[in-house]
Amino acid sequence: MPERELAPYAARPQHSRGRRHREAPPRGRSEYQRDRDRIVHSTAFRRLEYKTQVFVNHEGDLFRTRLTHSLEVAQIARSVARSLRLDEDLTEAIALAHDLGHTPFGHTGQDALNDCMRPYGGFEHNLQSLRVVDLLEQRYAAFDGLNLTYEAREGILKHCSVRNARALGDVGERFIKRRRPSLEAQLANLADEIAYNNHDVDDGLRSGLINLDQLAEVRIVGRHLKTVLKDHPRLAGRRLVHETVRRMIDTLVTDLVRASAENIRRHAPGSIEAVRRAPPLIAFSPRVHEESLALKRFLRDNLYRHYRVVRMSTKARRVVVDLFGALASDIRLLPPEFQARAHDDAPRAIADYIAGMTDRYAILEHRRLFSIEET
């Protein structure tokens, strides 16, 4: 969207707070387009193709991965950004980068790595995503990381303790001052919620771990399923699932646009700085918010805690814990570039190495370290 069409409360690339390392302005694209392009071309982004969303990568070719999830988040976020006259490129950049620091094996991997790192400051994937774009990507001659704009970096950092925020400089200030990020960042966060709830429904049904009869008891699903069957009485199978999920996403997106526009109208922020001082403005209506929470609870109880998912999660946790223990016992087991970092902070270097692994690489590395058979 041209800058002249942006709302006064939108982030504007010409007024960015800048980058950590000064660079010449980009030619033929905005500062936020440059952020987006750097993320797409990063190694960490490509790795997302083989990192788990819910199901471990080898369990099926058609299940969501962190990469497909990030693309779906970006599509939803960009569509809403256009409706609200926000900067679409910044919104897209944040959406594409939000999971760059995620471990292999999804939240199971994160929890296991956090337990291993607890004596050394812990591990949190939002902080790791920021660490990836600030330090760990090694692509440019003049600086480490991707050197993203302040606005992209603050959007990646969705939540943070005050203790950690104090060590992050300007990007951590809002957690100390209890301020909000840009509307583009708020939007990317809720687009993430829309995408993972609805697409986990799709993946859960594909896997056979949950079924439509169970889901029909959840209000937002049951309502749309009933409408689909009324409109198309003979529809069944995958097309019935896709049509139901499609309508659920439409309801959530439409409600998000309507409720957020009303919040913006009521608070009338005249600039991005006014947005930072306001309460959260990107939000669902109370009714749809409650329906979304009910769907989350259903997925937690019936999918994420399904015994087959728990069994695979237990195996995945063992891989992460074993890897950390072996590498911590002898840093010579690390690849050379991580050995060099380990001289300054061995636990953090090990966490960086493990967090950067794909599911299948972690499984292979575990085999290399713990099996004497030739690999």
Higher pLDDT, 143 or 198: 143
Q: What is the pLDDT of residues 325-354, one digit of tens each?
A: 999 999 999 999 999 999 999 999 999 999
Residue found by looking up tokens 């749309």 in the block:
224
Residue found by looking up tokens 């590395």 in the block:
365
**Is 74 exposed, middle or buried (CB count within 10 Å of its CB: 0-12, 13-18, 19+)?**
buried
Q: CA nearest 256: which of 210, 315, 200, 194?
A: 194
Q: CA nearest 18: which of 148, 136, 139, 137?
A: 148
Structure tokens at 66: 């962190």
Q: CA nearest 319: which of 359, 373, 374?
A: 359
Per-residue pLDDT, 239: 94
Q: What is the pLDDT of residues 195-249, one digit of tens each?
A: 998 888 988 888 889 999 999 999 999 999 999 999 999 999 999 999 999 999 9
How far lies 137's CA from each of 47, 100, 105, 132, 352, in Å?
Answer: 12, 10, 21, 6, 11
Q: What is the pLDDT of residues 115-132, one digit of tens each?
A: 999 999 999 999 999 999
Structure tokens at 102: 């995620």
Q: How many CB atoms lie within 10 A of CB 177?
A: 10
pLDDT at 2 over 80: no
**Could you tell me if residue 30 is left (phi over 0), alpha (psi between -120 and 50 degrees) or otherwise beta?**
beta
Give CA–CA dist 157/37, Å, rounded: 19
Per-residue pLDDT, 62: 59
Whether the full predicted model's pTM is greater than 0.85, yes or no, is yes
Per-residue pLDDT, 224: 95
Q: What is the pLDDT of residues 30-80, one digit of tens each?
A: 999 999 999 999 999 999 999 887 655 445 555 788 999 999 999 999 999
Per-residue pLDDT, 374: 57
| β strands within 110-164, DSSP E | none
Distance of CA 1 to the CA centre of its chain: 24
Q: Which residues of 319-357 are buried (b: 16+ CB within 10 A; e: fewer)?
A: bbebbbeebbeebebbeeebeebbeeebbbbbbbbbbbb
Cβ-proximal residues to 178 (8 Å cutoff; 6+ apart), any chain: none
Give CA–CA dist 246/239, Å, rounded: 10
Instruction: Give the DSSP letter string of 153-191.
Output: HHHH-----HHHHTTSGGGGHHHHHT----HHHHHHHHH
| β strands within the chain, DSSP E | none
**Using 50, 70 and 90 to split pLDDT, how confident is the model at 101?**
very high
Residue found by looking up tokens 């699903």 in the block:
221
Q: How many CB atoms lie within 10 A of CB 86?
A: 26
Q: What are phi and psi of 12, to 5 degrees?
A: -125, 125
Q: In the beta sheet, which residues pair with residue 19?
A: 149
Give CA–CA dist 246/369, Å, rounded: 45
Name the residue type at position 303. L
pLDDT at 95 over 80: yes
**Is 5 exposed, middle or buried (CB count within 10 Å of its CB: 0-12, 13-18, 19+)?**
exposed
User: Hey, what domains does the chain have and what are their CATH numbers?
Assistant: 29-311 (1.10.3210.10), 312-370 (no CATH)
Give CA–CA dist 260/267, Å, rounded: 11
How far lies 345's CA from each of 139, 258, 277, 334, 353, in Å?
Answer: 22, 48, 37, 13, 12
